[in-house]
Amino acid sequence: MPPLFTLADVSTMRGSADEHVHPLSGVTVDIAADRITVVVGPSGSGKSTLLRLLNRLEEAHDGVVSFHGRPIGSYDVLELRRRVGLLQQRPTPFPGTVLDNIRVARPAVTRDEAVALLERAGLGGGFLDRRADELSGGEAQRMCLARTLAAGPEVLLLDEATSALDAAAAKVVERTARDLAEGGLTVVLVTHDLRQARRLADDLVVLAGGEVVEHGPATRLLRRAKDERARAFLGGSS
Ligand code: ADP
Ligand code: MG
């Protein structure tokens, strides 16, 4: 199967022409469909930037990002973001009830469908008529996961999405990610938690200083990475 995303010599730029940084430079990597790719690396290594390129919250300054073999810039951005859903580190509830939040993503959703989405995200149907701004952080994050799934994405991007959750809620999100990948969804997950990477990764991308220093099947990389910077990171906290 051809890769779902291809990054070919991609660099990003922040700042002005005279004074700028390159959060990513010369990144070439494929991301395969129907599996979990975990992106790891130290803080500031470019993990969020890489993820945001995949739904065009970030644009490449150089190089090409492709989705299904077509330059990502050729897609309508709203259609792209329905197909490539993002769950960020902090929940982003909209005003109104939990059901109102889910309706933003799927206007014609029925109550039964909304309950099924909530259950998938580890929240019971009893939350449907609760006010979104009265949920705890962990509940709000799971509602946001249900809302992201309501759009029917083919790719789910998770950016440190469990780091503000307690261990039990984090496990629910991890199990959902695994179930979704087994059901044919592509998951790209950024984490600084190597144990989470070990639990979830089919493929691993290791970033250091804005460059991809390793990429491949997780079982192989976790056993022995070739690159010294990748080894230093992967071996550091197992
Ligand atoms: P990570 O998610 O791995 O912590 P990021 O992708 O957020 O890394 O950031 C990578 C680098 O780009 C960091 O050095 C960060 O300071 C820089 N960066 C990210 N966003 C901006 C921005 N809006 N302005 C300036 N620098 C930025
Ligand atoms: Mg980040």
- Tens digit of each residue's pLDDT (9 = 90 or more) over 90-137: 999 999 999 999 999 999 999 999 999 999 998 999 999 999 999 999
**Ligand 2 centre from 51 Cα, in Å?**
9
The answer to whether residue 237 scores a pLDDT higher than 80 is no
More confident residue, 227 or 156: 156
Q: 120: Cβ–Cβ under 8 A, 6 or more apart, which residues?
A: 146, 149, 176, 179
Which residue do the tokens 């902090």 mark? 90
Taking CA atoms only, the protein residue closest to ligand 1 atom 14 is 44
Single pTM value for the model: 0.94
| Cα–ligand 1 centroid distance for 65 (angstroms) | 19
Say yes or no to pLDDT of 214 above 70: yes
Cβ neighbours around 23 below 10 Å, total: 22
| Res 2 pLDDT > 90 | no
CA dihedral (92, 169, 147, 205) in degrees, to 10, reads 80
Residues 21-37: tens digit of each pLDDT: 999 999 999 999 999 99
- The token pair that represents 116 in the structure block: 């099924």
* Residues lying with their CB under 5 A of ligand 2, a single-atom ion: 47-48
Ligand nearest to the CA of 27: 1
